């Protein structure tokens, strides 16, 4: 599974960081940064949560 982030859509809510701190971070303006494009299985639930709660719909989890 691969994580895709459209950073230009991001509204800096920080929801993804709260849901999956090992996969997402924020830059100095609070904009989401993808730390790990292909997270290990143990982080996938957190990523799915991030996809579901991102207010800007800026995150996707896609099959490869």
Partner 1 sequence: MADTTLTGPAHEAPDAVPEFPMPRESRCPFDPPPALKELQEQGPLTKVRLWDGSEPWLVTRYAEQRALLGDGRVSADTDQPGYPTKASPEAGEGKLSFIMMDDPEHARLRRMVTGPFAVKKVEALRPAVQRIVDGLIDDMLAGPGPVDLVDVFALPIPSLVICELLGVPYEEHDFFQEHTKTMVRTTATPEERGAASREVAGYLAGLLGKRVAEPRDDLLSGIAARVTAGELTHQQATEMALLLLIAGHETTANMIALGTLALLQYPDQLALLRETDDPKLVASAVEELLRYLHITHLGRRRAVTEDIEIGGQVIKAGEGVIMVNEIGNRDPEVFADPDRLDITRDARRHVAFGFGVHQCLGQPLARMELQVVYGTLYKRIPTLKLACALEDVRFKTDAFIYGVHELPVSW
Residues that bind partner 1 (CB under 8 A): 11-14, 17-19, 25-26, 28-31, 49, 52-53, 55-57
Are the beta carbons of 64 and 37 closer than 8 angstroms? Answer: no
Cβ proximity to partner 1, 4 vs 11, nearer residue = 11
In sequence order, the 6+-apart residues with CB closer than 8 A to the CB of 59 are 3, 4, 5, 6, 16, 32, 47, 50, 51
Smallest distance, partner 1 to C-beta of residue 64, A: 27
Are the beta carbons of 60 and 17 closer than 8 angstroms? Answer: no
Smallest distance, partner 1 to C-beta of residue 34, A: 15
Cβ proximity to partner 1, 22 vs 26, nearer residue = 26
């Amino acid at each position: 599974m691969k994580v895709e982030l459209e950073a230009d859509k991001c509204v800096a809510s920080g929801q993804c960081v709260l849901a999956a701190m090992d996969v997402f971070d924020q830059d100095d303006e609070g904009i989401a940064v993808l730390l790990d494009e292909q997270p290990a299985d143990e982080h996938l639930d957190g990523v799915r949560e991030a996809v579901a709660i991102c207010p800007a719909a800026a995150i996707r989890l896609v099959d490869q």
